[in-house]
């Protein structure tokens, strides 16, 4: 059984590498036809969907109506696996950029696509550079860009929700843009954080109602963090209850 899983994972990764090169190249070339990034968004969505299809992963989504095409929003999701990225690329219907760790710039084709789509890289080892990245993200949001962020900062090792970093809420207080909380359930069992082995399965995504940020005072950072964490725990509880599972893990 374990041998079959190794073979399955190798085949999945072979497809992921080729698929990333294919859609990444198309995204780069599309800038000559669609400088506004519309075709790049199509490439990004197709990249996510084809990888999920090839790995035999189904995605169930609730709350998609909370994402509005006529409003700038910040999308904030929990993080368990690299598959979270492909899931979000495949389901979010509007164009968006990411706030991601700087190490991902080293991935071929992805770096060029990130520049087209307005991604912001963050150096977690340097506080000053990290704050500068958040200022850059805030400027992009003020100019009308949407951003996706993993406010926990790193992947959960056991599927439980982790304490969130304050970077998201610096963005909230700087921009006063609504936050869309997104809870992803199941990616941790598809591919664990410290493993390259992949298994098929179903991922459940619950998109919560917008969290308005206009009512927070400038010094209400801790309150904003607590409110967001409560909403995420509520989304997790509702998802686990819907699936008939026990415990607080989202693996």
pLDDT of residue 107: 63
When pLDDT is averaged across residues 206-219 and rounded to a whole number, the result is 84
Question: If one looks up domain 58-243 in CATH, what number appears?
Answer: 3.40.1130.10
158: left (phi over 0), alpha (psi -120 to 50) or beta: alpha
The whole model's pTM is what? 0.88
Q: Return the higher-pLDDT residue of 166 and 178.
A: 178
How many whole angstroms separate alpha carbon 149 and alpha carbon 175? Answer: 15
User: Which stretches of 29-178 are assigned E, i.e. beta strand?
Assistant: 57-62, 74-77, 97-101, 120-122, 147-149
User: What's the confidence (pLDDT) of residue 40?
Assistant: 85
Q: Does the structure show a pLDDT above 50 at 100? A: yes
Mean pLDDT of 35-54: 90
CA distance linking residue 250 with residue 108, whole number of Å: 31
**pLDDT, tens digit, 9 for 90 and up, residues 72-83:** 899 999 999 999
Q: Where are the domains of the chain?
A: 58-243
Q: What is the pairing mode between strands 147-149 and 120-122?
A: unpaired
Distance CA 41, CA 92 (A): 10
- In DSSP notation, 155-179 reads --SSSSPPPPPSHHHHHHHHH---E
Q: What is the distance between the alpha carbons of residues 25 and 126, in angstroms, rounded to a whole number?
A: 32
Tell me the CA distances in angstroms from 32 to 29, 89, 135, one per residue in order.
Answer: 6, 22, 29
């Amino acid at each position: 059984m374990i041998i079959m899983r190794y073979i399955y994972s190798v085949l999945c990764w072979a497809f992921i590498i080729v698929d990333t090169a294919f859609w990444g190249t198309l995204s780069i070339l599309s800038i000559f036809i669609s400088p506004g990034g519309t075709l790049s968004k199509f490439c990004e969505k197709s990249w996510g969907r084809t990888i999920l299809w090839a790995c035999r992963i189904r995605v169930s989504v609730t709350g998609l109506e909370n994402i509005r095409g006529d409003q700038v929003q910040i999308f904030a999701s929990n993080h368990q696996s690299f598959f979270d990225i492909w899931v979000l690329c495949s389901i979010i219907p509007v164009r968006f950029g990411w706030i991601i760790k700087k190490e991902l710039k080293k991935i071929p084709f992805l770096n060029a696509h990130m520049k087209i789509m307005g991604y912001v890289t963050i150096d977690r080892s340097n506080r000053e550079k990290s704050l500068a990245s958040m200022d850059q993200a805030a400027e992009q949001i003020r100019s009308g860009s949407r951003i996706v962020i993993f406010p926990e900062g790193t992947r959960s090792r056991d599927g439980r929700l982790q304490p969130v970093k304050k970077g998201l809420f610096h963005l909230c207080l700087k921009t006063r843009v609504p936050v869309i909380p997104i809870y992803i359930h199941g990616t941790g069992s598809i591919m664990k954080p410290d493993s390259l082995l992949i298994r098929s399965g179903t991922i459940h995504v619950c998109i919560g109602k917008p969290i308005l940020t206009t009512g927070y005072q400038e010094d209400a950072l801790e309150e904003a963090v607590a409110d967001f964490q409560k909403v995420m725990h509520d989304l997790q509880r509702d998802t686990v209850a819907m699936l008939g599972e026990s415990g607080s893990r989202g693996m």
